Amino acid sequence: MKKIKAVMFLGFVWFAFPIFAQFNAGSNGAYHNFAETEAVLRELAGRYPGLTQLVSVGLSIEGRELYVLKISDFAQTEESEANIYIIGGTHAREWISIEVPLLFARQLLENYAEDAAVRRLVDGAQIYIMPLLNPDGLEFSIHTYRWWRKTRRYNGNFSWGVDLNRNWGFQWGYDNLGSSPDPNSETYRGSGPFSEPETDALRLFMQDHPPIGAIFYHNFSQKIIYPWEHTAAPAPDQAKMAVIATEMSRRMAAVSGRVYLTGSSEISYAVNGGSCDWVYGTFAAPAFTIELPNATYLQGGFFTAESEIMTTFAENLPALLYFIDCFLEKN
Ligand SMILES: [Zn+2]
């Protein structure tokens, strides 16, 4: 009896306090690990050869492929259509950020034949979906330490990992608040701009296929954030980006009732060397960080329940469709 009570107590602790989930090593449940993500991308590319092009843009520091799935009509051909990027899995422990882009790819392809609205977007744009920018970190988060955030680069002196959302080459190392020069820090920016193979591979690919719009999924905090992130000064297109963010938020709330806060660094914290500032600063393309739920640490923080995967995707779907539509030529 005592034993049963002890087990029940441990079970309660496990579920009641997300901090204990860090010991839940080796099980990713309904979430996709690297191999499962790769399998989904291959499955979709295999089923829809005319609408997809699956490319590896490079290798992670531990040698894993960095996949981008292009979705468009005549996907094997480079067309003069809007290049739109949907990216997830920058930070290792942010598992839900991989699921939303992955489900979105499936949604577009499986509904293309039947859904005229989806078909119009896929025909009119070149949609680049990269669900997992940091595969090494994800595997480490699954198998070793659930709270891991950075890559698995060895920095020397028993220090591992670079924060890929501090390693981009626009205002890299602008100050030591929005990123850290300390290799032991969770926000270590690396030894130089694009010092990491993951960011550098995506940079090169984006330079070859310049974005007109981009969304980078993260979690948590339930927010939609747009540049600038490195400074409180407003970006030249701040008003335009605010309109897009507000409209995305409105469409999300219409599905689930959950409100995603919108704004620039004032609603979050300063970030330099971030992906959105680089995309906007380099291409003048509106770029958004979408911080998925949970909204707060006490609601679960980084650990979004498996039962919330489809709910989270469902509320993001109309926002994503609207986002792509923003960049289509209207006639
Ligand atoms: Zn993140």
Residue 63 CA to ligand 1 centre (angstroms): 22
Mean pLDDT throughout 287-305?
93
- In one letter, which amino acid is 72? S
| pLDDT tens digit sequence for 109-140 | 999 999 999 999 999 999 999 999 999 999 99
Mean pLDDT throughout 220-237?
97
Residue 131 lies in a domain: yes
Question: What tokens does 261 get?
Answer: 């806060």
Owning domain of residue 38? 2-326
Residue 268 CA to ligand 1 centre (angstroms): 12
- Provide the percentage of residues in the chain whose pLDDT is more than 70: 92
Residue 98 lies in a domain: yes
| pLDDT tens digit sequence for 178-187 | 999 999 999 9
Question: How much is the pTM?
Answer: 0.92
In the 3-class helix/strand/coil scheme, how is 269-317 assigned residue by residue? CCCCCCHHHHHHHHHCCCEEEEEECCCCCCCCCCCCCHHHHHHHHHHHH
| pLDDT tens digit sequence for 153-202 | 999 999 999 999 999 999 999 999 999 999 999 999 999 999 999 999 99
pLDDT of residue 329: 78
Residue 279 lies in a domain: yes
Residue 240 CA to ligand 1 centre (angstroms): 24
Beta-bridged to residue 127, according to DSSP, are 71, 84
C-alpha pair distances (Å), 251 with each of 137, 153, 306, 315: 32, 39, 23, 8
Beta-bridged to residue 164, according to DSSP, are none
Count of domains forming the chain: 1
Omega before 216 cis (within 30°)? no
Mean pLDDT throughout 298-311?
92
Residue 331 lies in a domain: no
pLDDT of residue 14: 45
Residue 202 lies in a domain: yes
Q: Check if 291 is active-site.
A: yes
Q: Which of 99, 196, 291, 315 is catalytic?
A: 291
DSSP class of residue 158? T
Alpha-carbon gap, residue 262 to 242, rounded angstroms: 7
Alpha-carbon gap, residue 278 to 165, rounded angstroms: 10
Cβ 235 vs Cβ 280: under 8 Å: yes
Residue 90 CA to ligand 1 centre (angstroms): 6
What's the CATH number where 221 sits?
A: 3.40.630.10
